[in-house]
Amino acid sequence: MSNTLKTGAMLGLMTGLLVLIGGYFGGSQGMSIAFIMAFLMNFGAYWFSDRIILAMYRAQPVSEAEAPELHRIVQGLALRANMPMPRLYILPTEAPNAFATGRDPEHAAVAATQGILRILNEEELEGVLSHELAHVRNRDTLISTIAATLAGVIMMLARMAMWMPYFGGGGRDNEDRGGGGALGFVFLAILAPIAATLIQLAISRSREFQADETGARLTHKPYALASALQKLEVGANRLPMEANPATSHLFIVNPIRGNVLFKLFSTHPPVEERIARLQALVA
């Protein structure tokens, strides 16, 4: 409940940021435009995000005959969690990873790469899949889509604002604001996108911790998920995945590798911290 309240508060902050930007951008009319953009983008993401993401990674649906172990594990977890059986897909890549998508448990899909099926034993694979089902159960796939969409609208408005001075936009409004106009422009063009990104990252990281805990309690084997995370982190470092940064938050471990600055803005908390929290559940 605490994590849910925090997530709601952060989504509220991002919405408030969008309102402020809309007001600066064009008063009440700008606020209306911003909300319309957010609504349309969220509507499209709500209904079509799973198909878009699965197509983006060339995910192939697999039957029970084609992937019996995968189906058996997920069927058992779904039954234990009192959830509908999600659609199962395999991604044609040796980079070890997995993700879940879909707007609700009735329209969920779980995808695993060929690489993760090769390097994990049955208990570890069950831990990973329980983590992904936890995301579906906790509605994380919908929450992360809304957060990403709101952040996208904020960044789009910020880019538009950067070009306004070159086209004579906002002149009268800036005069009315006096000295605050320049500071407002700096906030809108530079600080607002950074703030939106940080809020989005905070939401994503908090949901990862909760999915780890929910998945571990579902299997009663937190050590298995901890072991899987350790293997996946090593595998992701050895074989980074060609992933779109906009969808990297979906994967169980960040598929994109980078320098220290990149890690600071990672959509995932440090694997070491996730493993430590799982090990604490065993004690």
Catalogue the active-site residues.
132
Give the Cβ contact number of residue 278 at 10 Å: 24
Please answer whether residues 233 and 128 qualify as being in contact, where contact means their C-beta atoms are separated by less than 8 angstroms: no
- The H or E element that residue 121 is part of is none
Give me the amino acid identity at 63. Answer: S
H/E stretch holding 98 reads strand 98-101
Sheet with strand 87-91: strands edge to edge: 60-61, 87-91, 109-113, 98-101
Which residues have a Cβ under 8 Å from the Cβ of 71 and sit 6 or more positions away?
A: 62, 63, 64, 88
Distance from C-alpha of 24 to C-alpha of 22, rounded to nearest angstrom:
5
